[in-house]
């Protein structure tokens, strides 16, 4: 079994800037789980080493980033990245290889997604689709971040590229691509989501949304007892009480509430979305809440009561615990708590 270590011997090295951190992580992405510190240093140095050239590592955007300093100085910076838990060392038997920490991967996923998005725009201008192999081979979290950037761009000229990308993709990615294409075809104002605190007068629309989600979504995974419990639990009095505590948020599209959730410090709970909006806008409700919480917190937790884990894992969340809440003699709701750095 591999042995994992997140620390490295302390050396004198000043804190690195954000561009340096991003470039080291970008170079590391080319050799994660197969290469170590020395090979990473050679990429950053711009080395003509045979191994670097054989594996086409000279094509990495971070190749030669540190060409003006020594290999030892580069390694010192890599060791700083390990000590600060952006990268980790795993020993696969006796071979030390680099892997991302959750913190490091979160940064690299965004960096690589931006890189791919820029290539999409370049291909659009050229009328070519050279970026497609990279999109299809990308980690799903990265692919979804690229799609969100395309959606946010509102650039309908990217639709032909999306349609070509969709061909040959797995079903879940195809569904997300279709949702983005649909969003791009919708007139500008109709695709804009607005996040705000719920007001008392929103109680009925929030209640109807939750009851609709209970019937049409929760009913697929839970018994009728759970659906009836949710209908009873989310009453006018309870919803208005939560609104009075300023813990309820709503997401609107064209003045219609399509999503709602509660927040407890850095934690998102009771996330519900309109069933008919899930495919096109579901992920964006959560992203709107994330953006709001990231202003104050480095880590976000998400509690869900549906057994659908993959969509959240695709967004960079990982499971930290599970629990059950009994609601009857032989009935319980199962909760999963995710975390994202």
Report pLDDT digits (tens) over 282-326: 677 888 888 889 889 989 999 998 888 888 888 889 999 999 988
pLDDT score of 182 more than 90 = no
The residue-averaged pLDDT of 107-129 equals: 94
Q: Tell me the two tokens of residue 258.
A: 């399509």
Q: Which is higher by pLDDT, 80 or 279?
A: 80
Q: Is the pLDDT of residue 6 over 60?
A: no
| CATH T-level topology, domain 18-100 | Arc Repressor Mutant, subunit A (1.10.10)
Cβ 299 vs Cβ 341: under 8 Å: yes
pTM score: 0.68
pLDDT score recorded for residue 128: 87
pLDDT computed for residue 134 by the predictor: 95
List the domain boundaries for the chain: 18-100, 106-185, 194-340
For the domain spanning 194-340, the CATH number is 3.40.630.30
Average pLDDT of the segment spanning 224-236? 91
Classify residue 255 as exposed, middle or buried by CB count within 10 Å of its CB (0-12, 13-18, 19+): exposed
pLDDT tens for 44-90 read 999 999 999 999 999 999 999 999 999 999 999 999 999 999 999 99
The b-or-e profile of 151-181 (16+ CB within 10 A means b, else e) is beeeeeebeebbeebbeebeeebeebbebbb
């Amino acid at each position: 079994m591999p042995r994992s270590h997140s620390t490295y011997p302390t050396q004198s090295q000043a804190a690195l800037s954000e561009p340096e951190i991003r470039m080291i992580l970008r170079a590391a992405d080319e050799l994660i789980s197969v290469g170590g510190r020395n090979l990473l240093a050679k990429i950053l140095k711009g080395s003509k080493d045979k191994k670097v050239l054989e594996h086409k590592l000279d094509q990495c955007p971070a190749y030669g980033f540190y060409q003006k300093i020594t290999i030892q100085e580069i390694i010192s910076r890599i060791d700083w990245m390990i000590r600060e838990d952006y990268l980790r060392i795993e020993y696969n038997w006796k071979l030390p290889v680099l892997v991302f920490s959750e913190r490091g991967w979160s940064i690299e996923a965004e960096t690589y997604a931006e890189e791919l998005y820029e290539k999409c725009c370049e291909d659009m201008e050229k009328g070519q689709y050279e970026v497609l192999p990279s999109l299809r081979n990308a980690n799903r979290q990265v692919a979804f971040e690229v799609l969100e950037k395309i959606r946010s761009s509102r650039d309908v000229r990217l639709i032909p590229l999306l349609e070509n990308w969709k061909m040959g993709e797995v079903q879940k990615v195809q569904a997300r691509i279709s949702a983005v294409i649909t969003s791009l075809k919708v007139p500008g104002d109709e695709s804009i989501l607005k996040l705000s605190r719920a007001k008392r007068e929103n109680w009925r629309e929030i209640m109807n949304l939750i009851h609709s989600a209970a019937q049409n979504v929760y009913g697929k995974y839970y018994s009728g007892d759970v659906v009836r419990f949710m209908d009873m639990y989310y009453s006018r009095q309870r919803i208005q009480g939560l609104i009075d505590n300023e813990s309820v948020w709503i997401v609107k599209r064209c003045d219609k509430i399509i999503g709602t959730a509660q927040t407890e410090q850095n934690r998102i709970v009771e996330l519900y979305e309109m069933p008919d909006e899930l495919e096109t806008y579901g992920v964006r409700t959560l992203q709107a809440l994330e953006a709001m919480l990231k202003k104050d917190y480095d880590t976000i937790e998400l509690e869900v009561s549906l057994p659908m884990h993959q969509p959240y894992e695709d967004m960079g969340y990982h499971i930290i615990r599970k629990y059950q809440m009994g609601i009857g003699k032989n009935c319980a709701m199962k909760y999963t708590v995710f975390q994202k750095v």
